[in-house]
Amino acid sequence: MTTSPLPTADPRLPDAVARVAATVAAVVTRRHAASGIVWSPGLVVTSAAMLWRAPRVQIVLPGGEAVTGTLRGTDAGTDLALLQFSASGAAPGRGAGDADEPAASPARVGDFVFAVGREPEGGVHASFGHVGAVGGAWRSWRGGSFDTLIRLDGGLYPGLAGGAVSGIDGPLLGLASPAFSRHHGVVVPAGTIARVVASLLAHGRVPRSHVGIAVQPVRATLEGAAVEGLLVSSVAEGGPAARGGLLVGDVIVEAGGHPARDAEGLRAAIAAAAPGSTLALVVSRAGQRVTLSLEVAEQPAGRCH
């Protein structure tokens, strides 16, 4: 995060950094040194992009103890990875996910925030800046669902990926991720972390739905009327869409009872249908209305829709 001084020096800042650092660990692989958040006793959440498929990593805990972390699961969609460890020393009895503090108020553009990381040698480092953009719930290009958009006003210094982001007075905002923008760090919100951690503990992954198609926006005709929809440009052989009768050249105009005017709307409709459930589609086929019912499947790695 781009270093940016406070308009007026705040004497509370060192104590605020120390408070956040009490739940920040170092995460060291053969390729990278990153940071992580001790989410609850025995669990550290970090940036999945920094692990590079390493099944085991070294974790340096806030108290200085070095332990071996075992990968419990990753979610590339939200750039989160969950590590489990056993500590023989004075590991923290609580983690950031166990905090009694109330939920953070919505971040605002211009809010002063800081990111805290830990060096492999155990030292704390931090950078200071501002919130550069905020928004509502959003979905990453990797398919991850985020409770809110919180974008920082600059990139992340080496070692801060996976670190904790907070304000002086507030509880944890979330985890610093470099995975979604070349120029700006993105904060994975604490609420998103809690949801993903629960899924990784239960399944080792975050199940997501897909139907096995590629689409592009198009204007078409449906029973003589002009409509906006999504032209099906490919259908995966043997996938849910193929089994449900969807054909290349069909134009999807409704998905799950809602208009399908763009790919984001279709993704939202598919995401709302749990694997194993059915998704109703209305398509224009040669200008005629056709209704299909697809049985949604769990998304394989690398697939989008």
Domain ranges of the chain: 13-203, 209-298
Q: List, for residues 254-276, the tens digit of each pLDDT value.
A: 999 999 999 888 988 998 888 89
| Cα separation, 224 vs 52, whole angstroms | 53
Determine the pLDDT at residue 142.
78
The reported pLDDT for the residue numbered 1 is: 63
Tokens 């198609």 belong to 213
Amino acid identity, position 185? G
Residues in the chain with pLDDT values less than 70: 1-8, 89-94, 99-105, 300-305
CATH number for the segment(s) 209-298: 2.30.42.10
Distance (Å, rounded) from C-alpha 197 to C-alpha 203?
10
**Tens digits of residue pLDDT in 110-156:** 999 999 999 999 999 999 999 999 999 888 877 788 999 999 999 99
From residue 138, how far is each of 23, 44, 48, 148, 225 by CA, in Å? 27, 25, 19, 7, 32
Which pLDDT does position 302 carry in this prediction? 46
Token duo for residue 272 = 């709302």
Kindly state the helix (H) or strand (E) to which residue 133 belongs, with its residue range: strand 124-135
Would you tell me which CATH number, out of the four given (3.40.1160.10, 3.40.50.880, 3.60.15.10, 2.40.10.120), belongs to the domain 13-203?
2.40.10.120
